[in-house]
Amino acid sequence: MIDFIQGILVGIEEDYIVINVNGIGYQIFVPRPESYQALLNQDCFVHTHHYFREDWMGLFGFQEKEERYLFRLLLSVSGIGPKGALAMIGQGNPNQVIQAIATEDEKTLTKMPGVGKKTAQRIILDLKDKVKGLTFKGMPSAKIEEENLKVVSELQAGSELIEALKSLGYHDQEIQKAVKALQDSIESGQSLDRLIKQALIILMRE
């Protein structure tokens, strides 16, 4: 896991920036690349999330830990990928997104890039309890990190389960059904071996 990148900002593109760290250029996707213009050719620090799957990996960067925290929450919702989560954060600020989720404001969420009515409903259903009473300004950093670690752990467990089931020959549709059925077990931190056994039981019933 790459927690942050610090180096000289050498490039700003439409959806990413490039930071030179000891002669290596890191491509980092960020919510609002234009906001980094004042740092061009200067020292730049970004908090990062290292996203990876079997066929692709990438770095996503944020000026504040709060943005990264929200990104990870959105990424935990089924059907939302990293580019989609990044676009939502780039559309507004973390508190606006959180308020829309907490107040079950589908209309505001559907105005965000790539978010239809069903996706908005899924975001609200999955995250409304996690963001209740939450605002980022003044939020203790220890609380943010605690929640970050929990979200990352759940994402990793889900990803490892998916890869294990793929290696056993199951198709994506079957896998998604099993993962959805085991969401509570994933969130409770059960071991990968136990998750696989439970998934196989579910899949054999199909």
3-state secondary structure 53-120: ECCEEEEEEECCHHHHHHHHHHHCCCCCCHHHHHHHHHHCCHHHHHHHHHCCCHHHHHCCCCCCHHHH
Residues of the chain with CATH 2.40.50.140: 4-62
d(CA 196, CA 158): 10
Closest CA to 58 of 89, 17, 91, 92: 17
Q: Does residue 145 register a pLDDT over 60?
A: no
Buried b / exposed e over 76-89, threshold 16 CB at 10 Å, is bbeebebebbbbbb
- pLDDT of 133 strictly over 70: no
CATH topology (fold) of 65-137: DNA polymerase; domain 1 (1.10.150)
Mean pLDDT of 1-12: 92
Domain over 4-62 is classified CATH 3.30.70.270: no
Residues of the chain with CATH 1.10.150.20: 65-137
Q: Sign of torsion, CA 200 202 204 206? A: negative
153-177, pLDDT tens digit by residue?
Answer: 555 666 777 888 888 888 877 888 8
Q: Would you say residue 124 has pLDDT above 60?
A: yes
Q: How far from 135 is each of 70, 106, 114, 167, CA to CA, in Å?
A: 11, 19, 24, 41
Per-residue confidence (pLDDT) for residue 139, from 0 to 100: 44
